[in-house]
Amino acid sequence: MRKTPIYLDNNATAPLRSSAVTAMNEAMGPPANPSSVHSFGRNARLIVEQAREAVSMLAGCRPADVVFTSGGTEANNIVLAQYNHVITSTIEHDSVRHAHDHCQQIAVDHNGVVDVAALAAAIAHIDDAQRPHTLISIMAANNETGVIQPIAEIAEMARRANIAFHSDMVQMFGKRRIEFTASDISYASLSAHKIGGPAGVGALLVRPGSRLSSLLRGGGQEQGRRAGTENLVGIAGFGGAAEDALGDIRHYQKMAKWRDDFEARMLAERGGIQIFGQGAPRLGNTSSIAARGKSAETMVMAFDIAGVAISAGAACSSGKVKSSHVLESMGAGPRAGEAVRISGGWATCIKDFETLADVFLHLYKKPA
Ligand code: PLP
């Protein structure tokens, strides 16, 4: 194993940025309830509002649209709970798929792109009285494949139909420019630990006029939209990471070339390679790739021994790898069990992708 392992599992979580650590260290120590009126409380409020400003800059929204939560999972759950009926897709994160009892799931094509015609048909079936109680929830970019969804088109369809539209932007945030205010999106979910902030903090963006009542009963924090004393240290870290991440968009554009070169090399030098979502627009950092005859679990372990950290298809939430609902709904069949997910992040460099390619070729010898 190499001395310093290479980390290519950023869609699971990204390394903490020093800007986040500094911001958290500064927030830690003095008693700090942002609702207190004394000077300690006012200082804490300042930290929260600076972080809100930084997050809003990265998301292209107004600071007032940012509601801090305990992460992407909570942000997704809050929005879905506001509506009686939800139209979503087969490739959403479990925190959307399992958050509502009345979820209608729209299929995706073999590249993992939501079937917009099927969505339009589903919308057409909703009568006028039901529309204010219906939510469309489609993610911006998939966590397993990086495939980007046509959310501008979907948001426009939703606006015309007078139906609220939510997008889980947890994976898109910080990697591509988000212009929330300029869009037709009603709500967006974000998570700090995917951009180099701490886990356990995130945000829900809420367009003015979109309904939102706190899921938790308690105090009036976050303008009555999310009860509970603010996670000051986490929020400070989120803000620190967001400030730093403003410069990342170009980094991810460059990474798309490193990722594409890696995939091209695998396809040219080895047989039995399949790349999922390659025919669709994708985030520049993600590759979902299968090597025929090699189970994902075996590959992940072999990579780990060789000093490269990747994951099997979906991130496993309890240490166990479960079959991927995303790849299955793309029609991957048994090959879904061979798919590994490679995902670069803010700290990834070209050499990491080159080493990844060398290790892959070493572990998988099947000739092209
Ligand atoms: N949505 C997507 C697309 C994700 O990838 C994740 C995390 O893996 C989440 C939501 C959940 O975010 P959090 O870990 O902040 O709860």
Mean pLDDT score of the chain, rounded to an integer?
Answer: 95
Hey, which bits of 181-244 come out as E strands? 187-191, 202-206
What pLDDT was estimated at residue 289? 98
Cα 285 versus chain centre, distance? 12
Q: Is the CB of 166 under 6 A from ligand 1?
A: no
β pairing state of 103-106 and 134-137:
unpaired
pLDDT tens-digit series, residues 183-205: 999 999 999 999 999 999 999 99
Mutate to test the pocket of ligand 1, among 194, 283, 311 (most ligand atoms within 8 A of CB): 194
Give the CA-trace dihedral at 320, 326, 327, 329, to 10 degrees: 130
Question: How far is the C-alpha of 225 from the C-alpha of 228, rounded, in Å?
Answer: 10
CA of residue 216 to ligand 1 center, whole Å: 20
Confidence of residue 317 (pLDDT cuts 50, 70, 90): low
- In the predicted structure, residue 177 carries a pLDDT above the cut 60: yes
Q: Which region among 59-68, 159-168, 312-321, 324-333 has the lowest average model confidence (pLDDT)?
A: 312-321
Report the nearest-CA residue for atom 5 of ligand 1: 143
Query: Helix H segments across 178-248?
Result: 221-224, 232-245
Element (H, E) at 137: strand 134-137
Question: How far is the C-alpha of 298 from the C-alpha of 26, rounded, in Å?
Answer: 43
Confidence of residue 1 (pLDDT cuts 50, 70, 90): low
CA of residue 23 to ligand 1 center, whole Å: 23
C-alpha separations of 231 from 18, 173, 176 in Å: 19, 21, 27
pLDDT tens-digit series, residues 35-53: 999 999 999 999 999 999 9
pLDDT tens-digit series, residues 111-142: 999 999 999 999 999 999 999 999 999 999 99
Domain ranges of the chain: 6-15+248-363, 18-245
Beta bridge partners of 308: 6
Matching residue, tokens 């479960």: 322
pTM beyond 0.85: yes
Q: Is the CB of 73 under 6 A from ligand 1?
A: yes
| Token code pair at residue 259 | 């990722």
Question: Can 316 be counted among the known catalytic residues?
Answer: yes
What pLDDT was estimated at residue 243? 98
- Could you tell me if 8 and 352 are in contact, meaning their C-beta atoms sit under 8 angstroms apart? yes
Q: Which atom of ligand 1 is nearest to the CA of 13?
A: 8
pLDDT tens-digit series, residues 158-168: 999 999 999 99
CATH architecture of structural domain 6-15+248-363:
Alpha-Beta Complex (3.90)
CA of residue 253 to ligand 1 center, whole Å: 22
Mutate to test the pocket of ligand 1, among 171, 189, 231 (most ligand atoms within 8 A of CB): 171
- Could you tell me if 142 and 91 are in contact, meaning their C-beta atoms sit under 8 angstroms apart? yes
- Could you tell me if 275 and 260 are in contact, meaning their C-beta atoms sit under 8 angstroms apart? no
Which are the contacts of 263, defined by CB distance < 8 A and separation ≥ 6? 275, 278, 287, 289
- The strands making up 273-275's β-sheet, listed across from edge to edge, are 273-275, 286-291, 339-343, 311-312
CA of residue 13 to ligand 1 center, whole Å: 9
DSSP class of 270: B
Which one-letter amino acid corresponds to residue 76?
A: N
The catalytically annotated residue of 61, 103, 316, 349 is 316
Report the helix count and the strand count for the chain, using DSSP H and E: 12, 13
CATH class, range 18-245 = alpha beta
C-alpha separations of 280 from 8, 103, 187 in Å: 22, 25, 24
CA of residue 99 to ligand 1 center, whole Å: 13
pLDDT tens-digit series, residues 336-366: 999 999 999 999 999 999 999 999 999 998 7
Q: Is the CB of 168 under 6 A from ligand 1?
A: yes
pLDDT, average across residues 260-273: 97
Confidence of residue 314 (pLDDT cuts 50, 70, 90): low
Question: How far is the C-alpha of 218 from the C-alpha of 97, rounded, in Å?
Answer: 27
Report the nearest-CA residue for atom 10 of ligand 1: 72
Q: Using alpha carbons only, how large is the chain's radius of gyration in Å? A: 21
DSSP class of 64: G
| Token code pair at residue 321 | 């790898």
